[in-house]
Amino acid sequence: MPTVSVKRDLLFHALGRTYTDEEFDELCFEFGLELDEITSEKDIISREQGDTKAEGASDVILYKIDVPANRYDLLCLEGLVRGLQVFKQKMEAPRYRRVSPASSEPQRLVITEETTAVRPHAVAAVLRNITFTQERYDSFIELQEKLHQNVCRKRTLVAIGTHDLDTISGPFTYTAKPPGDIRFKPLNQAKEYTAQELMSLYKTDSHLRHYLHIIEDEAVYPVIYDSNGIVLSMPPIINGDHSKISLNTKNVFIECTATDLTKAKIVLDMMVTMFCEYCEEPFTVEEAEVVYPDGRTCQYPELAYRKETLSADFINRKVGISESTEHIAQLLTKMCLRSEVMSDGEQIEVEIPPTRSDVIHACDIMEDAAMAYGFNNIPRTTPRTYTIANQLPLNKLSELLRQDLAAAGFTEALTFALCSQEDIADKLLKNISETRACRISNPKTAEFQVARTTLLSGLLKTVAANRKMPLPLRLFEISDVVLKDESKDVGARNNRRLCAVYYNKSPGFEVIHGLMDRVMQLLEIKPGQGNGYHIQAADDSTFFPGRCAEIFACGKSIGRLGVLHPDVINRFELTMPCSALDIDIEHFL
Amino acid sequence: ISMADTGLVETLLRRVEKVDGGLDSQDVATSLGVDHQAIVGAVKSLLALGDVISAEQRSSKHWELTGEGCEIAEQGSHEARVVSSIPEEGMPQSQLMKLAFGKVGFSKAMSNKWIRLDKGHEGGPRIFKTVEHLEDLVRDKLLLVQKGQASQLEEKEKNELKKRKLLSEVTVKSYWITKGSCFSTTITKQETELTPEMIASGSWKEKKFKPYNFEALGVAPDCGHLHPLMKVRTQFRQIFLEMGFTEMPTNNFIESSFWNFDSLFQPQQHPARDQHDTFFLSDPAQAHEFPQDYLERVRKVHSEGGFGSQGYKYDWKIEEAQKNILRTHTTAVSARMLYKLAQQEKFTPVKYFSIDRVFRNETLDATHLAEFHQIEGVVADYGLTLGDLMGILHQFFNKLGITKLRFKPAYNPYTEPSMEVFSYHEGLKKWVEVGNSGMFRPEMLLPMGLPEGVTVIAWGLSLERPTMIKYGINNIRELVGHKVNLQMVYDSPVCRLDS
């Protein structure tokens, strides 16, 4: 969930009133936001870097507000204020208009064929005669960062570049070139670098190094030039220094390059709708023309208003309320979804503005109606759905066995399903290839290399962590291991196992054998060949030679028991003899 | 009672019998001429027999001779000894001073005028006694104290002797012994335990039994124990079963991205599908079997929309859907179950639940592990409302003892509306999040083939969090995994979620 940090007093000024922290928290809750933290720049610095560093930092109160991940229109002060003011019916949602330049051709961005290989999409727009203040400027920069981190998926899907239009001249060319052929002075640097040099320069940049991988291994890098060959930006890494915007910038050229065109359009719409408020003619955005390699042209930003028609009955039925059509239309209008009751008095025509890209289905509109109504005002009802409960037979069996194993004097352990390869192989004197283990490709540490193929290592690790407890230790676990299995759609399956260990000064094979007999008794299997159970000597590297037996029930091998090999004991950092039982209980379903 | 003490015990009992009120153990010891500790031992053995006697502990102040005091009581005061050691013809002062008691005795005898000093005597100063008989009052007083008759002395006299370090005041602990309700001067041997022979012969009727010490703890039973998290899981299962929910087969930790994400209308660029959040598998890396026509409908709803949706309008790739992962939520199983339900010839309403492990490749901290248990409930029926979801959540949480609930709008890619469930925590005096809930999106349900009017409501929460709150555990590692202290498991109480 993205967090937006806004100055409290600035927010209250824009909202036209003040709130207590509790009141504002309540308003957020109702609107689906969360007032996460009340802090200040000084507090933040002092917490992260110590009090001395914080000296002189601003102690203006900041609200940190958690915003739902799909509400890109609430990622800056401007958007939050607009959303809340419309919600509180203090203002009507503005209408955003795309306009043609008054006395000239629109700015053009020409996309060349070369971009196809690396970053094929681009859209653009112009904010004409905008007035920045320090706060507006900061918010403008901050919104780009928030969009980059969220909808742009850390610039992989979309990257935003903003430029002082008066320092450059169109038409602009969006192309891709070998890194050695790109050379410019990047933002806030003193000299020119080639793209290659930049990539190594930014290797150590705490911020930019996270984006290098997006194009690093490509043969060509994306780049935007103006008509004089000045580099506007090398997306998605860095803008040129030449066209950088400042507090005094009057006309802003915004370009978004992308691997996902839909997202690029959304991002551009967000940038312009949030800040066109500060243009000479508020809520208008000057169009730019994008020319595709095939000659097609498109005008951006789209600023598309979509209309959906739905019935009041649909909303009443889904939410569980019975409101009039008019009231529902009012509720939706409060959520920036301008709605009108249609002539039949039942249907509602809902207009979805370009700021609400999250509304993609009637169910999204229904949710907004429910939010505006207030979730906590909806009567709580009991569904009349009549069903008979059933337990999963495997879980039912596991639950019953757990109870009786505890009654037999064994204590239940709860160990992790993920572990290191060493845990299930080397430490048990097994070769990993014979384990049928599923491997994880991206573990952060060795603890998560594989899914366990046995419960034994987890139990032995539990014993090792509890060596100070009085002996004997009697432990069990009934849980799933994971094995590769080609016959399953995903190529693997779980297997429910019962594992128990007895750890004492003497191996206690008879104890673990007795437990096995007891389990068979509980499962109504009598000793004997054929339909009964029996054990026979087996070789297993985990166990002490001559002290391991395979367990057969109803003619099938279901597991093993025996005294663990001294090397296994050592590898789990244990000192006493130990016997163990490991069976597959799925045979008893 | 050991044999050696029996005589003393009986003597003590006879003494107690003779007095009307009671007696002090210290006095008994003095009058019997035995060590006080021996009497204390006899009192304790009698107390162990029950109500033969009662004894109340008391303490009293008491005067005692110091080492020097004892010497004086035996041999006389220093001044008296000075007088008796001087012959008629006197003694040179230097010779007197060589005696151990010489110095102190000389000055005291001088002040008592029992001796005189002739400084000018030929051959050096010489001392002569001036009395023949003297009363050695100091010794007499000390002898009185030694006989236990200190009370005959004036307070002033005692303090003076104390100043001379001949007497000291000590605190003496003693028992005030009186007859008990079962007083008797003869003691019968007490039995420790009832035996089969006593039951057979009936001899238990005549015997006295040694009382038990009910203050001590009993012997811990030799038993096994269930893990506290699993005890809580049992209770949650019970709650779902009471509410008519059927358990889903969640025994498949490895899941394809298709069922874990795509079928839930979670776009392929969603951050949850990132390497940083999800465990991907290298072996088996891919799932190889999907219901083809359903997969095609999923592709379409993501990339083009349909079923009333705009879709996400991106290039949906089968390769992403094939990637095997460790499931990040049990909702992957709910998706499989709902798909299966949609394949039935005729839709029947269902209520499903599951409690099982899920996996996240997250940064670990005191409350987050790479794996945890997710509790999930799902209801599918015609015409379910958001009010129904809130009602059913109310009933569910009521069974956990949570009665105050409120709901916050939230975002989740596969539910719309989505609601975070908050409950009022009386201890923390604030609202805390206890779960997530919502209605599954039509983009998830309709491609499965579920009928248009069917609504599916669902909710989820973690098993660990309520367990940690219930058992007052702050670090999840103290609850789950091999590092837990087994003593915690041994000591954990039964789980009643509603109390």
Condensed to tens digits (0 to 9), the pLDDT of residues B137-179 reads: 888 888 888 887 877 888 888 888 888 888 888 887 888 888 8
β-pairing, A556-564 vs A543-553, is: antiparallel
User: What is the C-alpha to C-alpha distance for residues A427 and A434, in angstroms, rounded to an integer?
Assistant: 14
**Running along chain B, 499 residues long, what does each successive block of 10 average in pLDDT?**
66 85 85 86 82 84 84 86 85 84 85 85 84 84 83 84 85 85 76 89 87 86 94 96 97 98 94 89 96 97 95 95 97 98 96 97 86 97 96 94 91 94 86 94 97 96 89 89 94 85
State whether the Cα torsion B146-B149-B151-B152 is positive or negative: negative
Nearest chain B CA: its distance from A295 CA (Å): 23
User: What is the C-alpha to C-alpha distance for residues B255 and B286, in angstroms, rounded to an integer?
Assistant: 9
Joined together, the tokens standing for residue B181 give 């309700």
The residue of chain B with its CA nearest to that of A473 is B486
B249 in contact with A, Cβ within 8 Å: yes
Q: Determine the pLDDT at residue A311.
A: 96
Q: Which amino acid is at B386?
A: L
B347 in contact with A, Cβ within 8 Å: no
Q: Determine the pLDDT at residue A459.
A: 97
Q: Determine the pLDDT at residue B1.
A: 45
Whether B485 sits inside 8 A of A466 (CB atoms) is: yes
> Which candidate from B225, B312, B350 shows the least CB-CB separation from A387?
B350
Q: In chain A, what residues touch B222 (CB-CB under 8 Å)? A: 409
Q: Which residues make beta-bridge pairs with B431?
A: B424
Joined together, the tokens standing for residue B341 give 């339900």
User: What is the C-alpha to C-alpha distance for residues A484 and A487, in angstroms, rounded to an integer?
Assistant: 9
The residue of chain A with its CA nearest to that of B223 is A409
User: What is the C-alpha to C-alpha distance for residues B341 and A402, in angstroms, rounded to an integer?
Assistant: 32
| DSSP-derived 3-state class of residue A352 | strand
* Of the candidates A427, A437, A419, A422, the residue with the CA atom closest to the CA atom of residue A541: A427
Q: Which helix (H) or strand (E) holds B201?
A: helix B196-201
Whether B283 sits inside 8 A of A385 (CB atoms) is: no
Whether A490 sits inside 8 A of B371 (CB atoms) is: no
Q: In chain A, what residues touch B495 (CB-CB under 8 Å)? A: none
Q: Determine the pLDDT at residue B3.
A: 43
Q: In chain A, what residues touch B489 (CB-CB under 8 Å)? A: 411-413
User: What is the C-alpha to C-alpha distance for residues B229 and A328, in angstroms, rounded to an integer?
Assistant: 46
State whether the Cα torsion B80-B86-B89-B92 is positive or negative: negative
**pTM > 0.90: yes or no:** no
> Which candidate from A29, A410, A418 shows the least CB-CB separation from B224?
A410
Q: Which helix (H) or strand (E) holds A370?
A: helix A362-373
Joined together, the tokens standing for residue B337 give 């179950």
> Which candidate from A34, A413, A482 shows the least CB-CB separation from B227?
A413
- Angular region, B161: left φ>0, alpha ψ -120 to 50, beta rest: alpha
Q: Which residues make beta-bridge pairs with A536?
A: A550
User: What is the C-alpha to C-alpha distance for residues B478 and B489, in angstroms, rounded to an integer?
Assistant: 10
Joined together, the tokens standing for residue A410 give 């064994």
- Interface contacts A/B by beta carbons within 8 Å: 288
Q: Determine the pLDDT at residue B4.
A: 46
Q: In chain A, what residues touch B243 (CB-CB under 8 Å)? A: 389
User: What is the C-alpha to C-alpha distance for residues A159 and A259, in angstroms, rounded to an integer?
Assistant: 9
B285 in contact with A, Cβ within 8 Å: yes
Nearest chain B CA: its distance from A153 CA (Å): 7
Q: What are phi and psi of A204, to 5 degrees?
A: -105, 5
Q: Where are the alpha helices (DSSP H) in B323-385?
A: 331-342
Q: In chain B, what residues touch A361 (CB-CB under 8 Å)? A: 308-310, 416, 441-443
* Of the candidates A27, A26, A39, the residue with the CA atom closest to the CA atom of residue A80: A27
Q: Which residues make beta-bridge pairs with B126?
A: B92, B118
Whether B247 sits inside 8 A of A391 (CB atoms) is: yes
Contacts of B265 (CB under 8 A, 6+ apart): B301, B302, B413, B414, B441, B443, B444
Nearest chain B CA: its distance from A118 CA (Å): 15
Q: In chain A, what residues touch B417 (CB-CB under 8 Å)? A: 363, 366-367, 370-371, 375
Nearest chain A CA: its distance from B10 CA (Å): 46
Residue B299 in contact with residue A187, Cβ under 8 Å?
no
Q: Determine the pLDDT at residue B73.
A: 86
Whether B241 sits inside 8 A of A389 (CB atoms) is: yes
> Which candidate from A388, A418, A490 shows the least CB-CB separation from B256?
A490
B312 in contact with A, Cβ within 8 Å: yes
The structure tokens 């499903």 sit at B352
Q: Determine the pLDDT at residue B105.
A: 85
Window B:128-157, CB contacts with A under 8 Å? none
Contacts of A446 (CB under 8 A, 6+ apart): A420, A421, A422
Whether B370 sits inside 8 A of A416 (CB atoms) is: yes
Measure the CA dihedral B67/B72/B75/B77, to 10°. Answer: 150
Whether B416 sits inside 8 A of A362 (CB atoms) is: no
The residue of chain A with its CA nearest to that of B275 is A442
Whether A414 sits inside 8 A of B419 (CB atoms) is: no
B394 in contact with A, Cβ within 8 Å: yes
Q: DSSP string spanning B218-284?
A: -PPP------HHHHHHHHHHHHHHHTTPEEP-----EEEHHHHTGGGT--TT-GGGSTTTS-BEEET
Quick: pLDDT tens for B327-364.
Answer: 999 999 999 999 999 999 999 999 999 999 999 998 88
Q: Which helix (H) or strand (E) holds B74?
A: helix B67-75
Q: In chain B, what residues touch A29 (CB-CB under 8 Å)? A: 408
B223 in contact with A, Cβ within 8 Å: yes
Joined together, the tokens standing for residue B368 give 């987050």
The structure tokens 């004086």 sit at B72
Whether A438 sits inside 8 A of B254 (CB atoms) is: yes
Interface test with B, best of A22, A263, A375 (most B CBs within 10 A): A375
Spans of chain A below 50 pLDDT: none
Residue A240 is given by DSSP the state B
Joined together, the tokens standing for residue A230 give 């000045």
> Which candidate from A385, A394, A448 shows the least CB-CB separation from B379?
A385
* Of the candidates B231, B229, B235, the residue with the CA atom closest to the CA atom of residue B399: B235
Whether B387 sits inside 8 A of A321 (CB atoms) is: yes
The structure tokens 């911020």 sit at A207
B384 in contact with A, Cβ within 8 Å: yes
Whether A417 sits inside 8 A of B359 (CB atoms) is: yes
Q: In chain A, what residues touch B315 (CB-CB under 8 Å)? A: 260
Nearest chain A CA: its distance from B416 CA (Å): 6
The residue of chain B with its CA nearest to that of A149 is B271
User: What is the C-alpha to C-alpha distance for residues A285 and A101, in angstroms, rounded to an integer?
Assistant: 9
Whether B395 sits inside 8 A of A382 (CB atoms) is: yes
Interface test with A, best of B239, B243, B386, B446 (most A CBs within 10 A): B386
Distances in Å between the Cα of A59 and the Cα atoms of A8, A42, A53, A63, B80 are 11, 5, 13, 12, 91
User: What is the C-alpha to C-alpha distance for residues A298 and A121, in angstroms, rounded to an integer?
Assistant: 12
Distances in Å between the Cα of B185 and the Cα atoms of A151, B12, B27, B43 are 96, 9, 19, 13
Q: In chain A, what residues touch B376 (CB-CB under 8 Å)? A: none
Burial of A180 (0-12, 13-18, 19+ CB in 10 A): exposed
Nearest chain B CA: its distance from A65 CA (Å): 13
Q: DSSP string spanning B123-189?
A: TS-EEEE--SS---HHHHHHHHHHTT-GGGS-HHHHHHHHHTTSEEEEEEEEEEEEE-TT--SS-PP
